[in-house]
Amino acid sequence: MASLKIATWNPDGVSPNVEEVEVLLNSHNIDILLVSESHLTDNSIIRIRNYNIYTTNHPDGTAHAGAAVIIKSNIKHYELLQFKKPHIQAATVAVDDRNGTFNVTAIYCPPKHIIKEEHYDELFNTLGSRFMIGGDWNAKHVHWASRLTSTRGRELKKSIVKNNLTVIAPTEPTNWPTDSNRLPDVLDFFIVKGLSRLPHHIETCLDSNTSHVPVVLTLGTAVLNMKNSTKLYNKRTDWNSFRELIHERLDMTVGLKSKSDIDIAVRKLTSVVQESCWMSTPENNDRRPQSKTYSDSIRQMILEKRRLRRVWHTSRHSNDKREFNKACAI
């Protein structure tokens, strides 16, 4: 069965953790990553091979908060308007599956603001009749497996009920504070509309070094991909040969006395340019891998880091945290 892999993660800044973002994307074959706390500005330049990045930065223009959607370049999509408020930042792209268009949104809700039911309503009303939104909500409620209910969580729950939305959340914590006196809890999850009947599977991932763990949702649908475009030229095109072929093949004595003459001349010119370019361009045999591969030693380091994180999550002992930090620093 075709499926779509969407992950949400708060890496506490994309720029300093871009390599870890790439490892997550490639090792888990993520189609779309919804980033919270992207910490980017309008001057930030982030590139990830085979992915496009769409950001909504904090409205004050400084490198904090913010949200981003990182989506595979071959998925047919387009960016929608940003939702940029001090209390909520959301970035959205639209994709198509066999049932039509739906929107995929990354959200971040900074913890210092008071967010009411109507603020969530305002956001949800911009997303249409089919959407998926995921990120760090900084809101707790037993409805999505948090261990307690916060004021913000209560407001979000009221908006969810009012707008007939569905929560998809993992059953284990997604945020593990470094302070052992603070308990782990569920802060990162998805809210959907018009998609809840699709089969899905959700799980947390222990690969990250940050206090938030990535949450990976596999959705039982397939999105449309871009059609591969045929290129006239590549980096090995012989432009001297191209000019010579144009000079030899182009007839400059054609009379242009009528609309029909112009149409014929345009078609002839187009044909000469295309054929001359193809004849001057050898096949591009560059077959670089589409994603990075990692050695066995690196894979073993990742597995060991996962094991140590799991030990620390279970014990919450400072010595286990120290061992996990050592593994992350290698």
Q: Where are the domains of the chain?
A: 4-226, 239-279
Q: Is the pLDDT of residue 288 over 50?
A: no
Lowest-confidence segment of 67-81, 172-186, 198-212, 247-261 by average pLDDT:
247-261
When the pLDDT of each residue in the chain is averaged and rounded to a whole number, the result is 88
pLDDT digits (tens, 9 = 90+) for 11-33: 999 998 898 899 889 889 999 99
- Read off the amino acid at residue 193: K
Q: How far is CA 60 from CA 39, 66, 85, 92, 277, in A?
A: 12, 10, 9, 20, 49
User: HSE-up of 111 (CA within 13 Å, CB side)?
Assistant: 6
pLDDT digits (tens, 9 = 90+) for 57-78: 999 999 999 999 999 999 999 9
CATH architecture entry for 4-226: 4-Layer Sandwich (3.60)
Q: How confident is the model at residue 229 (pLDDT cuts 50, 70, 90)?
A: low
Q: Is the pLDDT of residue 292 over 60?
A: no
Residues whose CB falls within 8 Å of the CB of residue 139, separated by 6 or more in sequence, listed in order: 109, 115, 150, 152, 153, 155, 156, 187
b/e map of 47-57 (b: 16 or more CB within 10 Å)? ebeebbbbbbb
Within 10 Å of residue 265's Cβ, how many Cβ atoms?
14
- Cβ pair 233, 216 in contact under 8 A: no
Instruction: Tell me the percentage of the chain whose pLDDT exceeds 70.
Output: 90
Within 10 Å of residue 60's Cβ, how many Cβ atoms?
9
Q: Is the pLDDT of residue 305 over 60?
A: yes
Q: Which residues pair with 7 in a beta bridge?
A: 33, 216
pLDDT digits (tens, 9 = 90+) for 94-114: 999 989 999 999 999 999 999
Q: Is the pLDDT of residue 302 over 50?
A: yes
Residue 51 CA to its chain's centroid (Å): 8
Q: Provide the pairing of β-strand 131-136 with 100-108.
A: parallel
Q: Is the pLDDT of residue 213 over 50?
A: yes
Highest mean pLDDT out of 232-236, 280-284, 293-297? 232-236
